Amino acid sequence: MRVAVIGAGSWGTAVCWLLDQKGHEVALWAREPEIAACVNAEHRNPVYLPDVRFSERVTASSELAPVVTGAAGVVMVTPSVGVRATAQALAPYLDDETPVIILSKGIEDGSSLLMTQVLEEELGHAGRIAGLSGPNHAEEVSRGMPSATVVASSSQDTADFFQDLFATSFFRVYTNTDLTGVEMCGTGKNVIAIACGVCDGLGFGDNAKASLMTRGLAELARLGQATGADPRTFMGLAGMGDLVVTCTSQHSRNRALGELIAQGGALQEYEERTKMVVEGALACRALHHLAHKLGIQLPITELVYALLYEGLKPEDGLTVLMDRPLGSEMI
């Protein structure tokens, strides 16, 4: 079938390759005309994962209309900060039944809406909207290395559609109707990964990192409980699975940002150097506001917020966490 992929970053590039491997006709929207031109002429993305090659089934454009027209499904892979504007631009070209899945992870700052909720506001028809999340680094997926993921939607039919669309012999896809839980996991784990990167950058050991990851999972569960998610989701691929890979992998830009922060660097420096958006930095700000709104404690998230936006020194972060009042692990 014809599938539209909206966003030509690393994940968008990997998704194009995966769908191409399944024999689908893939239309890629790239904001930068030069990327679209290279995809059409050289069958590769010159900026993101440039060694990944496509067949002639993959075409690209910097215009939305030719990409979306005739697509049986739409895959959105734009940074979370641009999802609303992109959805507004997409709306005139989509009919009411076209299924749309979002792979971006985050909460909209200001509204505290999840990405699928933003799409529902702009595109309508919540049942045709889904989200995908899991331990899925683009660098590995684009090489056909074994991975698993979760597709979540309020509609089982929509979840089944995207499960069939993405599933391959190396990319195993599960479904879940707990859309809130899957998206909250995908948002929160990026923040915990920044903290783990700081842990690496300061030279702390495995004990410290494992403690951060475990207490980070507790934060995700607390956030999920406050927003009506299924607690089982946080033990699955979108929760524990994605948390582990994002906190430990060399491919994780969130973990790498934390390591740079520990060494005296800054968020702007990292994004200028890599030309990539660090979703955890955006999510941290949104979760900081949401936690205060809901009246819940997210101590690791608050620490990362202080490091990124309030000038807290990395070496003082340990004291902030370790000197908190003692309590039960179950809280």
Please confirm, yes or no, whether 209 is among the known catalytic residues. no
pLDDT, residue 210, reads 97
Residues of the chain by 3-state class (helix, strand, coil), percent to 5: 55, 10, 30
Q: Which of these CATH numbers, 1.10.1200.10, 1.10.1040.10, 1.10.10.10, 3.40.640.10, describes 181-322?
A: 1.10.1040.10
Model pLDDT for residues 31-82, shown as the tens digit of each residue: 999 999 999 999 999 999 999 999 999 999 999 999 999 999 999 999 999 9
Residue 157 confidence (pLDDT) above 80: yes
Q: What percent of the chain has pLDDT over 70?
A: 100
Cα–Cα distance for residue pair 76/79, rounded to 1 Å: 9
**26 strand-pairing partners:** 3, 58
Q: Work out the average pLDDT over 20-38.
A: 98
Average pLDDT across the chain, whole number: 95
Domain map (residue ranges) of the chain: 2-177, 181-322
Q: Out of 22, 189, 209, 293, pick the active-site residue.
A: 189
pTM (predicted TM-score): 0.93
Model pLDDT for residues 219-230, shown as the tens digit of each residue: 999 999 999 999
Tell me which DSSP letter residue 330 carries: T
State which amino acid sits at residue 187: T
pLDDT, residue 110, reads 85
pLDDT, residue 30, reads 98
Q: Which CATH architecture has domain 2-177?
A: 3-Layer(aba) Sandwich (3.40)
Model pLDDT for residues 112-127, shown as the tens digit of each residue: 899 999 999 999 999 9
Model pLDDT for residues 248-262, shown as the tens digit of each residue: 999 999 999 999 999
Contact 198, 308 (CB under 8 A): no
